[in-house]
Homo-oligomer: A and B are copies of this chain.
Amino acid sequence: MQLSREALQRAYRQMKVIREFEERLHTEIQTGEIAGFTHLYCGQEAVAVGVCEHLDIDDKIVSTHRGHGHCLAKGCELNGMMAEIWGSREGLCKGKGGSMHIADIDKGMLGANGIVGAGAPIAVGAALSAKIDNKGKVAIAFSGDGACNQGTTFEAMNFAVVTQAPCIFVFENNHYSEHTGVDYAVGTARDIASRAEAFGMKVWRADGTDFFAVHDTMREVLDFVRGGGGPAAVEFDTERFFGHFEGDPQRYRAKGEIERIRESRDCLKNFRISVTGAKLLTDADLDQIDQDVLDSIEAAVVAARAADRPTPEDVLSDVYIAY
């Protein structure tokens, strides 16, 4: 916890933005205004932020179907994201991608991805580019506990080891892939990290609901990888507060599970307890951030609603040819 006051404020703000972004979407989706499939990241904020706070614009990340948190943490603009989810022409992808395909290449955010497991090989490619450029930059592949059973994820890990690509595989184990438990679907003798280790990588594990655990772990990981140690993997144990997708009845949960994790494994709550306890920030400091964030979310929603809608001609642009 050797972070400056500013750094702490920034980290909290980043997590809070993700939280409120998702909570607000959760509400808005009920109205039917938002189209398509939306997977909320709520509960996992400490991972996205604890990882991305170490990165700069030349480091790359590749995300998943549950990508809003990674996007926001990597610096994608809030209004552009909201507008994208609203399917607006002013969205980050002009309304062509939507929730599952938000990308901002200039920010080093190489895309959310609707295909489970597809991101890992792409991250290895970005890491190979960094290796060629030789400036100590890295690429991060975010994957879920479900994605870690997809052949592409395995291929990517071996590929990264063979090519010594500066790639970091971040596994967010939130215990579920859709409606299936990790204990069933990941046959691994021990944990996901051990499987990664068997591919020849150095691995770490930490509590993904604890911002400081994530942040500290990632400092070590990044020192190792930026220093030329080759690829690495980290498994974060975390929690997803909402259903797999919006509308999921969640019959696979234990009774009281959501209340329990919201109570005891909420990264924002625990961050507040830590920093106020250690007198690094006051409740008032954090309350102020909370208010700012809520205001910015409200503004983003208002803007998204008012934003230009795409036109039929837009279908035909951004692709080399239309027959």
Size of the A side of the interface (Cβ < 8 Å), in residues, is 25
* CB of A7 within 8 Å of the partner chain: no
Query: Beyond A151-B152, A151-B154, is A189–B198 a contact (Cβ under 8 Å)?
Result: yes
Chain B residue contacts of A154, Cβ below 8 A: 151, 154-155
Query: Digit string of A104-146 for contact with B (CB within 8 Å is 1, else 0)?
Result: 0000000000000000000000000000000000000000000
In the complex, A199 has a CB within 8 A of chain B? yes
Tell me the dominant secondary structure on chain A's binding face.
Answer: helix
B161 in contact with A155 (CB, 8 Å):
no
Contact B198 A185 (CB under 8 A): no
A270 within 8 A of partner (CB) = no
A155 proximity list for chain B (CB < 8 A): 149-151, 154
CB contact under 8 A between A162 and B185, given known A151-B150, A154-B154, A195-B199: yes
**B residues near A189, Cβ cutoff 8 Å:** 197-200
Shortest distance from the beta carbon of A119 to any chain B beta carbon, whole Å: 14
CB-defined contacts of A187 to chain B, threshold 8 Å: 157-162, 199-200
Tell which of A155, A157, A186 has the most Cβ of chain B within 10 Å.
A155
Q: Does A288 contact B (CB under 8 A)?
A: no
A323 at the A/B interface (Cβ < 8 Å)? no
Interface residue from B151, B160, B186, B198 paired with A188 (Cβ < 8 Å):
B198
Complex interface: chain B residues within 8 A of A199 (CB): 187-189, 195, 198
Interface assignment of A79: CB less than 8 Å from any CB of chain B: no
* 29 A-B pairs with C-beta separation under 8 A: A149-B155, A149-B158, A151-B151, A151-B152, A151-B154, A151-B155, A154-B155, A157-B187, A158-B187, A158-B188, A160-B187, A161-B187, A161-B188, A162-B184, A162-B185, A162-B186, A162-B187, A187-B199, A188-B198, A188-B199, A188-B200, A189-B197, A189-B199, A189-B200, A190-B198, A194-B198, A195-B198, A197-B198, A198-B199
